[in-house]
Structure 1
């Protein structure tokens, strides 16, 4: 583990040990000047050996019950990512390890076919990218998300995609065909309109302007698209809230959502260190506002408040979003987001008896 640094092209400034580790290491200044810059951190790729692909949840404050995350870890390196603590389950750090040591399932498409083909499977909208971004940079080479989307397309299974990457446009051919059948909607995450801040917050994600271009392209192609102002960071990104919504409408967005920053487990320490390296003059103010939204803490895991916060500051942010969304028509419920699960056709799993009877 090293002390706070600015690794080129990476978000975290620390690499703390897993919370499950039997020991914890801390950096200590030995007094010697550091003249040499650290070499760029390379992305390492491993195989995910989990036995299932679809993840189910029963959370009362999440509007979907199933999702697929093609990757563990995310190269985008967003410092605020609530998925970072999941790397501790692998014995790795939620810090720089989360951005540089990634895992994928080479047989994801085949595994998805098997799970969708199970006799007791009941279709409902599946979210692609609820945890880590399905279109992160490594996807350009691997094509894993494309293979998953192809299975969903062939099975006529509804899917909602969340991403902050322009790579989603690579799959526009599939998305257009699915949109014509009411099977897909895309949500583009836009955190800030400040490109310099975005470069530090989300070092390997598309620029804010590029994401708005993606919204425009998807809308013109007939794909239902919305914007997710997430996470909303009081004292840092909330100044752009109304402007993001206004720009999104101009680009063709038909829906909008907003989630308050969440700092579970190690993310609180990582975000604190990031603030003190990149915006030291605002660090205490930002942390104070977050605590005011989280009952005096940096995180609140309770259902019902973990997404929105509580208290005057959180209520003000919620009101700002609601008023702006209503004024811009982004709170409509008739904008193509009620996806159709009735068209689903079970995939033909080799060797199954259903092959004898199912027809196209």
Structure 2
């Protein structure tokens, strides 16, 4: 039967209604592969809301996922005004979903919009919409404890005009995907490639925004890396090409002589929520930390007690077990093997405890 009910969301001092218009059975009876490729499993409902000047224009609905018409004149297709977030909801022992660090995602979504010249959404509105979407997915059955509900809020320009300008209307969408491991190596580790010739973000640009443009510019490097047998690309700073910044979709950590080290935020690195969580976990666990520049020579000529890992909402914590390095596309490929550090595994276990309300830190991060 069609599930018709309403949910309220906040927009400043005002309240707006979300119309829930879908057959509840499409959630209850939804099935998927036991080993889903990351991002391939489409939850069959989606939230949609058209916005102008940061406020909803017309109905806010959660309804069946499907094919949506978009004009070939849509300005996003031509000029790239598009941002998104990535966050996860985890199923607790009582069968209910809890969302990890939702407020931080709302704050970053708003910041990304500002960087891209878009009308920023009210943070309370974003939070309420995500909660309503997750509540609508409450009867999803996850087939493994390793699986979670990955949430992808998206905001893109909706004007149908081929003229360079900020859009006057934006489409806000929330979609979901049931996910497992991000890397093909699962929990064992990942192989990562670094080349001084490839650049991802420039100072005073869009580096810290979660925008489609930043991922598009990384694809040629990723294509080259995968042709060499690697799974991701590690980028250096754009100006001197000396300091480690981040991977194409993840932040970077190094463990050196028991100290946790990560590059400082400089405007070209995404303000990773998992990165921040790991730094707080390290403080809680009395693990020494350093936030500083990491010269690339420090990772291609590692000391004896050194390891590296990647982190992010999608990947959680994944040890990097091999680093490939080239000075240029014509240069000799150097392969450096890295151990899986017990400290990285310990941090991942504590991070997972935070996700599932089993940590003293869970209360302030789960909603």
Common topology (TM > 0.5): no
TM-score, scaled relative to structure 2: 0.28
Identify, as 1 or 2, the structure richer in strand: 2
